[in-house]
Structure 1
Amino acid sequence: MPSGPETTTASDTGDARPDTPAPADEPPVTAPAPARRPGRLARLAAQGRRHWRVSLVAAGAGLALAAAFPPYDIWPLSIVAVAVLSVLAHGRTARQGAWLGFALGLPFFVGLLKWLHVIGWDTVVGLSLVEALFFVPLGAGLAVTSRLPGWPLWAACLWVAQEWARDRVPLGGFPWGRLAFANTSTPFTPLAALGGAPLVTFAVALAGTLLAFAALRLWPLWRERAARPARAAVVPAAGALGLAAAVAVAGYAVPVPTDADDTVSVAVVQGNVQQAGMDFLGRPMMILNNHVEATLELADDIDAGQVDRPDLVLWPENASDLDPYRDPEAAAAIERAVRAVGVPILVGALVDHPTKDGYVENQGIVWDPETGPGESYTKQHPVPFGEYVPFRDQLSAVISRLERVPRDFYPGEEPGVLDVGPARLGDVICFEVAYDGIVRDTVNAGARALVVQTNNATYGNTGQPEQQLAMSQLRAVEHGRAVVTAATSGISAIVAPDGTIEQRTEEFTQDVLVGELPLRDGRTVADRVGAAPEWALAGLGLLVWAGVAVRDRRARPERKETPA
């Protein structure tokens, strides 16, 4: 280049005019030291600041997704939310997609889990933050795979992969907020009988991503107000919409087994609690006496001929907060109720661990009017920070609230198949209904109907009981089994094998439900194939994503080394 004064251009500085000579008496400008590269979280936040309008749309989609779940039950919003995230992430970088996934996930979980505010809003935000982190790789994967042919399929698989991971880690996972649990009384629900909750999630996500495909095809035409829509855009969009509709109605072609091999009459006792919230247990014996009182009233109605004597009675989780094996007063109260009604009662009780001091077990105990306590089931999946405290010594030193969980619950190891009178029932305790494997193992072990013993008094009138009841509806269809939810303060319900709620109670009332429970021996396809569909769909999505990442890395030009 010819010698002479150096020049700067408009592209080098923000305000310099082109070809403006630099003053000759100024020292030469030296290149600044390279700035330290920001961390990943900082880069994600920067993406959000640069694209705040798109982030706001993603956050709105997250709130819409929360409204798809009970108690609102606007289930089509689950499809819309999936479609919105797919549209926003389409064609973006992995980093941008990751931010959008987080921008949707955080408000979604805050809206879904707001019932935890009875413990503290910091708990709502903290758990929501942890769960939203699973949407970070989801968003990144949606962005990366959106450049592939057939991307709606891979996107739906990635939704399954996100739930597959979130249902297992950390600390055993937290399955709340699965797309399937927003679709427990929808056209997608019968698919659970084929592939369980993961197949329902896949179908919902596929319908949403197909809508996104159609929208992306039609959007340029609408924006340009094209007088004659391009056939190349309209035909694929119409095909995607048709396929989305076919996926949505495919469940109607799935046979849901409901025929009973025989029946049993049951009474579900909801004794109620004296107060809601964290201190619902109150004074020992109060809740137990409530359930004894309601059962004695049932016995009086039976003796008066107003109600037929049931074959068995179901009490909820924590109906006795005293160990009836060690507390004579609690045992005597249960005996009085059992002898009055004259049939076995499945009693939910807290029982001291027989060999480990300081531990307690959450059990369902079969109490017979003649032989007393017999078979029992111990909850296999205690709730972290609710029924046990991980890293108790370390965390208790900084979080005083953990003192409200004075003893850790010890987990059981066997499925809860119990002979309660003439019925072989599968006992599932509270949050366990959210975990696929626990319920499936119980059915495969011989349960002819399912009982969900639960205690929702802490979260009464918050929407949480409705969310948990919806899970019972899905499990009924998935396993072709009637499901009885027995709750201390509500909602107690009897759910038919097709997911229909036949009877239910109101919250914070003392009530008794009496009905016929169909018993079944046959197993659904979902029972037989187990977790295979989930692993296959999740694995396919992750494999395709990994393949794209490897391809892009190999296609990236090698960086030229800068001479020293």
Structure 2
Amino acid sequence: MPSSSSAPQARSRPLLPLWLAMPVAALAGCLMDLAYPSVSAWILAFPAVALLLLTLIGRRIGGALLVGFIYGAVFFFLLVSWTSRYLGIIPWAALALLEAALTAVAVILITLAYRWLPRAFPGVTGRLVTLPAVVAALWVVRELFLGSWPYTGFPWARLGMTQSESPLAMLSSWVGVSGLSFLMVFVVAMLVESVRLRLWHRPVRLVVPAALVIVLLVTPAFPTTDAGTMRIGAVQGNGPTGYFDEREPYSVIQAQTDATEPLLGADMDLLVWPEGGVDGDPFANESLARRMTRVASRADAPLLANAATARGDEYFNTSMLWTQDGTAEQSHDKRFPVPFGEYVPDRDFYYAIVPELIGLIGREYSHGTNAPLIDVDGVKVGLAICFDVIYDEVINEGILGGAQVLVFQTNNADFRGTGENVQQLAFARMRAIETGRSVVNISTVGASQMIGPEGQTIAALNADEAGAMLESVELRSGLTAGVVLGPWLQLVMLWGGLGALLFGWWRARRRR
């Protein structure tokens, strides 16, 4: 076994020939999909990462592009198959192929790290610490890239989100979701290098990797402070809220009202309805406004509802706190409307390509700018509307604004019978753990849950059934390290990973 100062150099040839690397990359994509709900086999995320790294080690740029694209295509075609539920293969293929192409480009950085870093830092420490750290940082760079571009990005497939049912989920309260992604890849890359260096011949050198794994598994959630409780009712009306659902006038609000009946007369501080729980704009429709006022009065609690609203020439996806006296002075507009779902960027360009599909999206929602917060009798409630749950800045803005509990309103009716709703529910669970806050995740059609600050399920409603939940939900104050440090760690991983890669290139050239 070579000494630490003369550890083996990285192989100049790929670990796997291209004919084998391609099916291995496809297998990695399959395993990664299984790590997400609805299967939720979170442990499979680790072999998936390992297999992808093995296909990239020693690879030239062209080969890295190919195996990265195969991995991304298999993974995303499986993960977001729910996008074809109503609109068919075109939007599904467009999203999956775009994400696969972006993944293929981004993994080139990891291939270059495996080419340059072992030459720049050939010792055991360089191979077991420096190289895995840079590879893990570049994995997060890829996630940040896909999560912010094009348009507002698609941060749906972050590695850390696979761990919502895992003991490792608690780490997100210390380092955020991106930090959890980093730690997962770091451990896998370290184990890969341990095997490549044949460290089983020197078991003492495996103590540090083994100890790291144990520490990650037993780390508790970052503590937050008990701030009392709040009685929250949440109603899943199971009304006709899908884009193509046939509906009668006021059928959606009537379904919500009917499902609310069991809660009326109970002690309640806040009543929550899901995204799209009202048929139209209550600020412009007096009949809807009266119905909402009646519900709030009978519940003897303010109603947090959601509807499409108009202000001048703009439309917004708006959550409003409707009080018993018929006013709604507090509201929040969805920060990130879904491209090609709630608005069409560069509409003329895409209309020329697929006019039938683009023509279905008649209303253009604007991006909200107001804070994702409401105040209910002195208790601040953080908000996120539907897919906004996957954007860190929306969640962090609410927590930094003093939110003691989080409410996520969503409408999954367009994805009935798919895995979309359970994927989104898993993200909600991770947000509870990351922020140390209880979460009320309420859908029009389910599945809906109330989740405790450590990710435990407090109450649940089955999908495709009308129902209501009423619980005394824990309030928490104080900021977790994941909320405070998470954004800074992202910057460190972004610029540190890219900077270390460039430094490794420079140092490798000098050593050569």
Whether these two folds match at TM > 0.5 is: yes
Deviation at 1:531, TM superposition (A): 0.8
Q: Secondary structure at the match of 2:353?
A: coil
Q: Secondary structure at the match of 1:372?
A: coil
Deviation at 1:187, TM superposition (A): 2.4
CA contact (8 A) 2:224 2:477 kept: no
Equivalent residue runs for 1:165-244 within 5 Å: 165-218=145-198, 234-235=201-202, 239=205, 243=209
Residue number among 338, 344, 363 corresponding to 1:383 in the alignment: 338
* 1:489 corresponding residue in structure 2: 445
Q: Does 1:162 align with 2:117?
A: no
CA contact (8 A) 1:58 1:100 kept: yes
Q: Secondary structure at the match of 2:173?
A: helix
Deviation at 1:408, TM superposition (A): 0.5
* 1:260 corresponding residue in structure 2: 226
CA contact (8 A) 2:293 2:326 kept: no
Supply the distance in 1 between the matched residues of 2:241 and 2:172 (Cα, whole angstroms): 37
* 1:351 corresponding residue in structure 2: 309
TM (norm. structure 1) is 0.81
Q: Deviations over 1:522-552 (max 9, x none)?
A: 1112222341101111222222222344456
Q: Secondary structure at the match of 2:112?
A: helix
CA contact (8 A) 1:115 1:459 kept: yes
CA contact (8 A) 2:438 2:453 kept: yes
Indicate the structure (1 or 2) with the bigger Cα radius of gyration.
1
Structure 1, unmatched stretches of 5+, are: 1-46, 219-231, 303-307, 557-564
CA contact (8 A) 2:222 2:481 kept: no
Q: Does 1:319 align with 2:277?
A: yes
Equivalent position amino acid for 2:423 in 1: Q
Q: Secondary structure at the match of 2:149?
A: coil
Q: Does 1:365 align with 2:320?
A: yes
Deviation at 1:376, TM superposition (A): 0.7
CA contact (8 A) 1:494 1:503 kept: yes
RMSD, matched Cα: 2.3
Q: Deviations over 1:473-525 (max 9, x none)?
A: 11111111111101111111101011112211111110001101111221112
Equivalent position amino acid for 1:287 in 2: V
Equivalent position amino acid for 2:386 in 1: C
Supply the distance in 2 between the matched residues of 1:330 and 1:419 (Cα, whole angstroms): 23
Q: Deviations over 1:141-162 (max 9, x none)?
A: 2222224233222111111111
Q: 1:553 to 1:243 in 2, by over 3 A?
A: closer
Deviation at 1:209, TM superposition (A): 1.4
Q: Does 1:58 align with 2:25?
A: yes
CA contact (8 A) 1:311 1:422 kept: no
Supply the distance in 1 between the matched residues of 2:495 and 2:210 (Cα, whole angstroms): 23
Q: 1:282 to 1:539 in 2, by over 3 A?
A: farther
Supply the distance in 2 between the matched residues of 1:493 and 1:212 (Cα, whole angstroms): 39
Equivalent position amino acid for 2:375 in 1: D
Equivalent position amino acid for 1:262 in 2: G
Structure 2, unmatched stretches of 5+, are: 1-13, 119-125
Deviation at 1:246, TM superposition (A): 2.1
Supply the distance in 2 between the matched residues of 1:435 and 1:420 (Cα, whole angstroms): 24
Deviation at 1:81, TM superposition (A): 0.8
CA contact (8 A) 2:226 2:476 kept: yes
Supply the distance in 1 between the matched residues of 2:64 and 2:210 (Cα, whole angstroms): 23
Q: Does 1:468 align with 2:424?
A: yes
Worse-matched range after superposition: 75-84 or 538-547: 538-547
Residue number among 266, 273, 289 corresponding to 2:254 in the alignment: 289
Q: Does 1:144 align with 2:139?
A: no
Q: Secondary structure at the match of 1:413?
A: coil
Structure of higher RCO (CA pairs closer than 8 Å, 6+ residues apart): 2
Q: Secondary structure at the match of 2:399?
A: helix
* 2:479 corresponding residue in structure 1: 523
Q: Does 1:128 align with 2:108?
A: no
Q: Secondary structure at the match of 2:233?
A: strand
Equivalent position amino acid for 2:166 in 1: T
Supply the distance in 2 between the matched residues of 1:95 and 1:187 (Cα, whole angstroms): 38
Supply the distance in 1 between the matched residues of 2:274 and 2:246 (Cα, whole angstroms): 13
Q: Does 1:397 align with 2:339?
A: no
* 2:213 corresponding residue in structure 1: 247
Equivalent position amino acid for 1:449 in 2: V
Q: How many residues are aligned here?
A: 484
CA contact (8 A) 1:485 1:494 kept: yes
Identity over the aligned pairs, expressed in percent? 29
Q: 1:235 to 1:120 in 2, by over 3 A?
A: farther
Q: Deviations over 1:7-45 (max 9, x none)?
A: xxxxxxxxxxxxxxxxxxxxxxxxxxxxxxxxxxxxxxx
* 2:492 corresponding residue in structure 1: 536
Supply the distance in 2 between the matched residues of 1:266 and 1:166 (Cα, whole angstroms): 36
Q: Secondary structure at the match of 2:202?
A: helix
Residue number among 122, 133, 137 corresponding to 1:153 in the alignment: 133
* 2:71 corresponding residue in structure 1: 104
Residue number among 259, 267, 272 corresponding to 2:238 in the alignment: 272
TM (norm. structure 2) is 0.89
CA contact (8 A) 2:372 2:397 kept: no
Deviation at 1:235, TM superposition (A): 2.4
Deviation at 1:384, TM superposition (A): 0.4
* 1:310 corresponding residue in structure 2: 268
Q: Deviations over 1:111-151 (max 9, x none)?
A: 11111111222222211111122322443222222242332
Q: 1:397 to 1:101 in 2, by over 3 A?
A: closer
Q: Does 1:68 align with 2:24?
A: no
Q: 1:328 to 1:109 in 2, by over 3 A?
A: same
Supply the distance in 2 between the matched residues of 1:241 and 1:512 (Cα, whole angstroms): 51
Deviation at 1:74, TM superposition (A): 0.6
Deviation at 1:404, TM superposition (A): 1.6
Residue number among 411, 435, 446 corresponding to 2:391 in the alignment: 435
Deviation at 1:253, TM superposition (A): 2.7
Worse-matched range after superposition: 376-385 or 394-403: 394-403
Q: Does 1:115 align with 2:82?
A: yes
